[in-house]
Amino acid sequence: MSESQKYYAHPSAIIDDGCVIGDGTKIWHFTHIMPDCKLGANCNLGQNVVIASGVQLGNNVKVQNNVSIYTGVICEDDVFLGPSMVFTNVINPRSAVNRRNQYSKTIVKKGASIGANATIVCGNDIGQYAFIGAGAVVTKEVPDYALVIGNPARQTGWMSEYGHKLKFEVDGKATCPESGEIYQLSNGKVSKLL
């Protein structure tokens, strides 16, 4: 990292022209950042990661090894992408049919975590602080704070911002055992109170 370059890139990484990379970001072995990407500050991209053209990552995004983030994906701040998880960007791909103008947009909202080997079918946004279990196949939108597992992914509970499963009392309130933050479940949605 030099004075003018405020991020670290391993010598084996390839960074194409037109990328904006935030201060403190680390890009590890054999990673390829394609043109016109925007990576926020303090991101960490593991080895063998591919970031396709036009992808946007917020601040403090953690991308584990062997993840490809395709055009149309936006990850907000504090997103975690587990090892070998997969995004798609075309709903009906065919080798002989060019669908480059038909990429679907997928937004992974602030604080969401996607587990190892999970697959996110394009066009399905992931809510704030949602938690996608390892190996899950997401085929529909995931609400804020939702815990989803399986294939196809189904919701089995709610998670705190610290990553703990919430246990709601009869009054619809739950407390995170680590942070002490209080959450409210009302009309099928969770919000943080304190």
pLDDT (tens digit, 0 to 9) for every residue of the chain, 194 residues total? 445 679 999 999 999 999 999 999 999 999 999 999 999 999 999 999 999 999 999 999 999 999 999 999 999 999 999 999 999 999 999 999 999 889 999 999 999 999 999 999 999 999 999 999 999 999 999 999 999 999 999 999 999 999 999 999 999 999 999 999 999 999 999 999 96
Burial of 5 (0-12, 13-18, 19+ CB in 10 A): exposed
In a domain, 190, yes or no: yes
Token readout for 41 is 């500050």
What strand order describes the sheet that includes 20-21?
20-21, 38-39, 56-57, 73-75, 106-108
Q: How many domains does the chain have?
A: 1
In a domain, 188, yes or no: yes
Instruction: Report pLDDT for 100.
Output: 87
CATH number at residue 171: 2.20.70
d(CA 149, CA 170): 25
Among candidate residues 117, 110, 163, 168, the one with its CA nearest the CA of residue 138: 117
Burial of 178 (0-12, 13-18, 19+ CB in 10 A): exposed
Structure pTM? 0.95
Instruction: Report pLDDT for 11.
Output: 98
In a domain, 179, yes or no: yes
In a domain, 180, yes or no: yes
d(CA 187, CA 145): 14
CA 77 from chain centre, in angstroms, equals 9
In a domain, 6, yes or no: no
In a domain, 177, yes or no: yes
d(CA 160, CA 78): 14
In SS3 terms, 136-154 reads as CEECCCECCCEEEECCCCE
In a domain, 21, yes or no: no
In a domain, 130, yes or no: no
d(CA 11, CA 28): 8
Instruction: Report pLDDT for 1.
Output: 47
**DSSP reduced 3-state for 117:** coil
Among candidate residues 106, 116, 57, 63, the one with its CA nearest the CA of residue 85: 116
Which structural domain range is residue 176 located in? 161-194
Structure-token match 């049919």, residue found = 97
Instruction: Report pLDDT for 79.
Output: 98
